[in-house]
Amino acid sequence: MVGEVYRHLFKKRATVLYPFKERELVHVPEGMRGKPSINRDLCIGCGLCGRDCPSGAIEIIQDEKGKRPVFYLDRCLFCGQCEEICPKSAIALTPEFEIASYDRKAMILR
Amino acid sequence: MSKFEVPVGPQHPALKEPENFTFVVDGEHIVEVRPRIGYNHRGIEKAAESRTYIQNLYLMERICGICSVAHTTCYAQNVEYLYEKEIPPRAEYIRVIINELNRIHSHLLWLGVAGHEIGFDTLFMYVWRDREHVMDIIEAMTGNRVNYAINTIGGVRRDVTSETIAKARKVLDILEERTKYYKRVAAAELSLISRTKGIGILKPNDAVRLCAVGPTLRASAIKSDVRKDDPYSAYEEIPFNAVSYDLCDVFSRILVRVDETFEAINIIRYCLDHLPSGPVRLKLPRNPPAGESVSKVEAPRGEDIHYVRSDGTEKPARYKVRAPTLGNIPAVCDMLTSKADHTVNIGDIPIVLASIDPCFSCTDRAIKFVDPWKEKKWIWSHEQLDRYARRKGKQ
Amino acid sequence: MTEAYVEAIIQIAQILIFPGFLFVIALAFAYEWFDRKFYAKLQNRIGPLYTGPRGFLQPFADFVKLMAKEDIVPLAVDKLLFNLSPLIAFALMLTAVLLLPISSPMGVLSFSGDLILAVALMTFFCIIVFLSGMCSTNRFSAVGAERAVFQLLGYEIPMMLAIVGVALGANSLRIADIVWKQGENLWYIFGPQAIGFAIYSIAVQAELERIPFDIPEAEQEIVAGWLTEFSGRKLALFRLSRDIELVFVAGLGAALYLGGPLGPVIPGLEPLLYTIYFIVKTVFVLVILSTVRAIFARLRIDQMVSFSWKYLIPLSVLQLLLVRLVV
C-alpha cells in the first residue's frame, strides 16, 4: 500500500478545477439530458408534453398563435419525456447544464 | 460503569441518511438496540396513485439515488406483467447492462463509504476516483450520471451505439484491474482486517429467520440471489455465479460485494458480445388492463419487491414497494447486540451499520403507528387510515 | 545596569517572538498546511488551494473564522473547567515549545531534567483532554474522554521507554546535552536507537490523536469525542494547541534522534542556519507522520491498547537492553 500511495506524489491530481479554471476539461457527451429547447415553428399546440410531464414543469397557455407550452426549469427533472412524446419532435434536450441563476424569472422558458 | 443510552441518529456522522438507533451500552459493550425508522418517509406510494403510469416511472426512480435503476426496472417489469406482453430481446439485454453497471457503481460507492467509516480515508478517495469511470460510461449511454431514466414501459428509451460499446469495453478493463487491486488491498491490509473480521456476526439460521436479503444474506453462507432463483429479464440466458462466502462477518460482506463486481463486469461483457439486434421498444397502449402483479428484482442491496393493482384507468389503484434495506434492519439490530459468545463495542457501530449497505430513503414506507408520548403502537388498514385522514382534514 | 535591562529585553523577545511563541504559532500553521497538502497529494487530490498562495493561509483562515464564531456554552456543563481547559491546554503547549532547541542547540529554557518536563507536559495535556471531555456533560464527550485515558495507558509507556533509551545513550537528562552528544558522534537514528525512533513515531501518533489512533475523536462513531461541545474561540484554541503539539513532537523527535538543529554552519549566521536545519528535520518527521496517517485505518480502542502492550512495550524494552549493551 505504501508504494501505491507514494506513487501518487508524482501523478497528476484527479481533481478538475472547474468552474474557475478548467472548464474545457469537463466533457459532456452528446445525448446528455440538459436544458430543453423548443422549436416554435414545429409546435402544433397538442398539449401532450404538458399532460405527461412527471413534475408539472410544462404549462400550456393560450396566446394569439394558439396553444403553446411554457417550461419552468426549476421544476424540470430533465427526464426527456416531453421530447419523447412530442409528435412533431419540436422539443429537444440540449447538453447545456449551466443553468443556475439568481433570478427566478430566468428559470421560465417561454 | 452503569448502563446508559447512546443515540445514533437521526443526525450523526456515521449515517448518510437519517434513522434513529438507540444503543444501551455498558462501558464499550452494546447491550440492546432499539431502532426507529421513518425519518425519510415521503409518501411515494400515495403519490404514485395520483400520477399516470408514465409519470410514475420517474417517481420510482427517485425512491433511491444509488439503486434507482433497480426500482424502475422492477416497476416497468411489473406493468409489463399486467399487459402480459414480452418486450424485445435487445431491450432486455440493454436493461441487464444498465442494471449491472448500476451494481458496479453501487458496490464501489459502498466500498469507499465502508473505508471512510473505519477511518481509512485513502481507500475512500481512491475508490471514488475510479467510480468516476462508471459514471462517465453511464452518462454516455443514458444521458445522466444518476437517475438514468432509461427504462420505459415496453422496453428502453435509447439504444447503445457501437462507439459507446467500444468505450464501455475499455472502461470495463480499467475497472477490472482496479477492483483486483482493491481485493488485494482488502485481503492484505492489517488494520482493515482487524476492524472487519469477526465483527457484525450474523449466523445463517438467524439470517434466514430475520429475513435478511442481498449481500448480507449471501455473506452468511446462503446462496440466494433473485437473478438465479427466479430469473427475470435476460438473466436466464446469461451464465454467471451467485457469490457467497461463509465467514458471516463484515469482512465476508466486503468480499461478497467485490466478487459481485467481478461477476457484473463479466455479465456486461457477455451482454455486449451477444447483443441481439432488433427494436428496443414495444409500443403499448396507455391504460393497462385491470389486475394485480408482483415483480422482484435483485437490486445492489438485495431483493426489491413491487406490487401493483390496476383498475383499468391510466393511474394505478395501489402501489407498494418493499425495499431491500427494510429486510436488513432486524438483521442489523441482531448483529449489533452483544451475545453470549462475542461482544459488540461502540467502535463497531459505524462499520456494522455500513455493512448492510443501508439505503434509508428506500426503506421508509409506513408499517406501524407509534405514539411516543402515549407509548402506544398499533396497525391500521387502508380504510382506517383514510377515515382518520378525512376526519383530521375536516378539523 | 543597562546591560541587565538589555539582556532582559532580549530574553523576553526570545520568549515572545523568536524562537518563542509567535514563531512557533506561525510554524504550527505552516505545518498544518504541509500536513494537509501532503495527505491530499497522497490521495490524488489537492487540499487547500485558494486562501493565499497554494492555500498556505488556510489554517490561519480557519483559526480566524473560528475565533469569530459564536461560543455556545451548554447549560449543564461545569463552567469553570469548561472555560479554563482550552486556555490551560494552550498554555501547556506554549510552555513545552520553549524547551525545544530551535535556533541554537539549547532551548530558550534549558536545565538538567528538562526532558522529564517535556514528557510530563504531554501527559498533562492528555489529562486536560480527559477533564474537558468529562466536564461537558454529553454522552459522546464522556465516551471520548474515557477512550483518551485508555489510549494514554497504551502509548505512554513505550514513548517514555524510547526517550529513556536516548537519555541512557547520552548519559544525561538535558535536551541540550543530548543534542551536543549527537553533534560529536553519529545522530542517534543511525544505530540501535533506530528502533526507538520507530517506537517514538508510533507512540507520538497516538499522542496527537491522528489516524490510526484518532480513537478519542473518531468522527464516525462519537461525533467529535471530547471536543464535541466546544465551539468558537475554545475550539480555535484547542485546534491551535493541537498544531503546536505537532510542532513540539516533531521538534522533540528531531532533537532526540536527528541531532537537533546541528549541521554544517558558517560562524556568524548560526541562528538562521540552525533554524533552517531544525525546520528541515522536523518536516522529515512530519512526512513520516503524514504517511502513516494515510495508509492505515482507525484501530478500535481495545485493539490499540493490546497492540501497544503486546508489541510496542517488549520492543522498547529490547531496545533499552541494546542501548545498554552498546554504550
Question: How many domains does one find in chain B?
Answer: 1
CA C170, CA C191: separation in Å to the nearest integer?
13
Q: Residue B207: give its domain's CATH number.
A: 1.10.645.10
Q: Which domain holds residue B95?
A: 41-336
Cell triple for residue C122?
504531554
Residue B20 lies in a domain: no
State the CB neighbour count (10 A cutoff) for residue B346. 22
A47, A87, C221 from A90: Cα distances, Å? 12, 8, 54
Residue B81 lies in a domain: yes
With cut-offs at 50, 70 and 90, classify the pLDDT of residue A9.
confident
Binary contact (C291, A2; C-beta < 8 A)? yes
| Residue C143 C-alpha, separation from nearest chain B C-alpha, in angstroms | 8
Q: Domains for chain A: give ranges and CATH numbers.
A: 28-109 (3.30.70.3270)
Residue B304 lies in a domain: yes
Evaluate whether ipTM surpasses 0.95: no
Q: Please say whether the beta carbons of C124 and C207 come within 8 A.
A: no
Min mean pLDDT across B78-87, B99-108, B300-309, C213-222 is at C213-222
Tell me, yes or no, if C215 comes closer than 8 A to chain B by beta carbon: yes
- Could you tell me how far CA C112 lies from the centroid of its own chain? 21
Binary contact (B350, C43; C-beta < 8 A)? no
Residue B133 lies in a domain: yes
Residue C56 lies in a domain: no
- Among B37, B135, B106, smallest CA distance to B304 is for B106
Binary contact (A8, C44; C-beta < 8 A)? yes
Q: Is the pLDDT of residue C32 over 70?
A: yes
Pick the residue of B1, B5, B6, B353 with the most C CBs within 10 A to test the interface with C by mutation.
B6
Residue B262 lies in a domain: yes
Residue B51 lies in a domain: yes
| Mean pLDDT in residue range C286-311 | 88
Q: Is the pLDDT of residue C221 over 80?
A: no
- The pLDDT tens digits for C186-213 are 777 777 788 889 999 999 988 888 888 8
- The pLDDT tens digits for B305-332 are 999 999 988 899 988 888 888 888 888 8
Residue contacts between A and C (CB atoms, under 8 Å): 25
Question: Of B4, B6, B122, which has the smallest distance from its Cβ to C42's Cβ?
Answer: B122
Residue B318 lies in a domain: yes
CA B363, CA C250: separation in Å to the nearest integer?
49
Pick the residue of C37, C38, C39, C41 with the most A CBs within 10 A to test the interface with A by mutation.
C41
The contact set of B with C (CB < 8 A) is 4-6, 12-14, 28, 115-123, 125-126, 129, 189, 191-192, 194-195, 345-350
pLDDT value of residue C214: 82
Tell me, yes or no, if B185 comes closer than 8 A to chain A by beta carbon: yes
CA B52, CA A54: separation in Å to the nearest integer?
8
- Among B318, B366, B391, smallest CA distance to B50 is for B318
Tell me, yes or no, if A14 comes closer than 8 A to chain B by beta carbon: yes
Nearest CA in chain A to C49: A17
Question: How many domains does one find in chain C?
Answer: 1
Residue C53 lies in a domain: no
Question: Of B55, B140, B144, which has the smallest distance from its Cβ to A54's Cβ?
Answer: B55
* Element holding C286 (H helix, E strand): helix C270-295
Nearest CA in chain B to A27: B136
Helix (H, G, I), strand (E, B) or coil at A67: strand
pLDDT value of residue B372: 64
Nearest CA in chain B to A97: B144
Question: What is the SS3 assignment for chain B?
Answer: CCCEEEEECCCCCCCCCCCEEEEEEECCEEEEEEEECCCCCCCHHHHHCCCCHHHHHHHHHCCCCCCHHHHHHHHHHHHHHHHCCCCCHHHHHHHHHHHHHHHHHHHHHHHHHHHHHCCCHHHHHHHHHHHHHHHHHHHHHHCCCCCCCCEECCEECCCCCHHHHHHHHHHHHHHHHHHHHHHHHHHHCHHHHHHHCCCCCCCHHHHHHCCCCCHHHHCCCCCCCHHHHCCCCCCCCCCCCCCCCCCCCHHHHHHHHHHHHHHHHHHHHHHHHCCCCCCCECCCCCCCCCEEEEEEEEECCEEEEEEEEECCCCCCCEEEEECHHHHHHHHHHHHHCCCCCCCCEHHHHHHHHHHCCCCHHHHCCCCCEEECCCCEEECCCHHHHHHHHHHHHHC
Q: Which domain holds residue C234?
A: 66-326
| Mean pLDDT in residue range C286-304 | 87
- Among A73, A30, A99, smallest CA distance to B142 is for A30
Binary contact (C297, B28; C-beta < 8 A)? no
Residue B246 lies in a domain: yes
Global pTM reads 0.89
